[in-house]
């Protein structure tokens, strides 16, 4: 069977739903499409599922890398594809779950031919004032700039990086990427207020569960990907005395809400993934729709 995709913003409960679906299918294994849960030294900060949460279902690409190792979307997608093929060879069903946009996209639709990121150039571009990065993108690729959300610095920097590294306009890479067909997909949703409440509770729980000690124990030099782990810089500020614990809790919740908002924006564009309310019947709904698709 083709991989089944269960997606959703952080904190929505997709991991639990994926485990429930896997158990009820009886012969399924889960492949993570999360950019950061792959790091074994940060299970609390990345909200990686523990053995109890995994419920006896085999999970892949969780806690398999050191924080000094870099992990980009293309590398992760290749590893995920190898896991998917091995799962299928065992006669089992792969369930891909996560919310890291490009990581999911490369697993579901194939790896873009655009040049991979360059940490040194990325750091240089991220240090530019926002208006300067926009100006450089507009000069280097006017058409590509016109199609870019210039209010989002991350998009501006990545698109400028692609143009500079590849020596070609963004349209070249889009026109030369032939997306592969992907398996059935579902996007779990919650009302924003409900999701915000869950995120606030999780931020507080992370600190109780040891996220601060986890960060304090990390090596001084992390990979470029590990450095971007949500909440890492905030906990470092707390450790340096710049944030009180209560301020840290509030800041963690805020940054996670902002991240979830970006995820929801991306997921709305993924029209191949059917929206499913994330409630007690989410697994039932997914299994019912899968059964209907095979009738």
- The reply to whether CATH 1.10.3470 applies to domain 119-175 is no
Tell me the average pLDDT of the chain: 93
- Which H, E and C letters describe the chain, residue by residue? CCCEEEECCCCCCHHHHHHHHHHHHCCEEEEECCCCCCECCCCCCCCCCCHHHHCCCCEECCCCECCCCCCCHHHHHHHHHHHHHHHHHCCCEEEEEECCHHHHHHHHHCCCCCCCCCHHHHHHHHCCCHHHHHHHHHHHCHHHHHCCCCCCHHHHHHHHHHHHHHCCCHHHHHHCCCCCCCCCEEEEECCHHHHHHHHHHHHHHHHHCCHHHHHHCCCCCCCHHHHCCCCHHHHHHHHCCCCCHHHHHHHHHHHHHHHHHHHHHHHHHCCCEEEEECCCCHHHHHHHHHHHHCC
What angle (nearest 5°) sits at the alpha carbon of residue 258, between those of residues 257 and 262?
Answer: 115
- Provide the residue ranges of all domains of the chain, joining segments of one domain with +: 4-112+178-293, 119-175
Sign of CA dihedral 263, 40, 26, 110: positive
Share of the chain above pLDDT 90, in %: 76
In the sheet that 273-277 helps form, which strands lie side by side, from edge to edge?
Answer: 59-60, 28-32, 93-98, 4-7, 185-189, 273-277
Say what the pLDDT of residue 295 is.
62
Say what the pLDDT of residue 32 is.
97
Which residue numbers in the chain have pLDDT < 70? 295
Say what the pLDDT of residue 114 is.
83
Q: What CA–CA distance (Å, rounded) separates 291 from 285?
A: 10
Nearest to 9 by CA among 197, 200, 190: 190
- pLDDT tens-digit series, residues 13-43: 999 999 999 999 999 999 999 999 999 999 9
CATH number of 4-112+178-293: 3.40.50.300
Say what the pLDDT of residue 63 is.
96
């Amino acid at each position: 069977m083709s991989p089944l995709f269960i997606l959703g913003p952080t904190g929505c409960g997709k991991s639990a739903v994926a485990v429930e679906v896997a158990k009820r299918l009886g012969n399924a294994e889960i492949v993570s499409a999360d950019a950061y849960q792959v790091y074994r030294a940060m299970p609390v900060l990345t909200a990686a599922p523990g053995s109890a949460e995994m419920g006896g279902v085999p999970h892949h690409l969780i806690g398999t890398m050191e924080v000094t190792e870099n992990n980009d979307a293309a590398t992760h997608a290749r590893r995920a594809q190898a896991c998917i093929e091995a799962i299928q060879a065992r006669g089992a069903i792969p369930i891909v779950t996560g919310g890291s946009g490009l990581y999911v996209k490369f697993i579901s639709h194939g790896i873009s031919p655009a040049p991979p990121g360059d940490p040194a150039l990325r750091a240089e571009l991220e240090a530019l004032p926002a208006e300067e990065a926009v100006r450089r993108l507009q000069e280097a690729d006017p058409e590509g700039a016109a199609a870019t959300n210039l209010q989002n610095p991350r998009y501006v920097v990545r698109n400028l990086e692609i143009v500079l590294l590849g020596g070609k306009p963004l349209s070249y890479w889009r026109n030369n990427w032939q997306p592969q067909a992907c398996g059935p997909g579902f996007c779990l949703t919650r009302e924003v207020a409900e999701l915000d409440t869950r995120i606030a509770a999780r931020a507080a729980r992370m600190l109780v569960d040891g996220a601060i000690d986890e960060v304090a124990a990390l090596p001084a030099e992390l990979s470029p990907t590990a450095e971007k782990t949500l909440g890492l810089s905030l906990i470092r500020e707390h450790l340096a005395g710049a944030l009180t614990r209560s301020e840290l809790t509030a800041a963690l919740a805020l940054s996670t809400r902002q991240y979830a908002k970006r995820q929801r924006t991306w997921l709305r564009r993924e029209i191949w993934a059917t929206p499913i309310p994330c409630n007690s019947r989410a697994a039932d709904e997914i299994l019912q729709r899968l059964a209907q698709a095979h009738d």
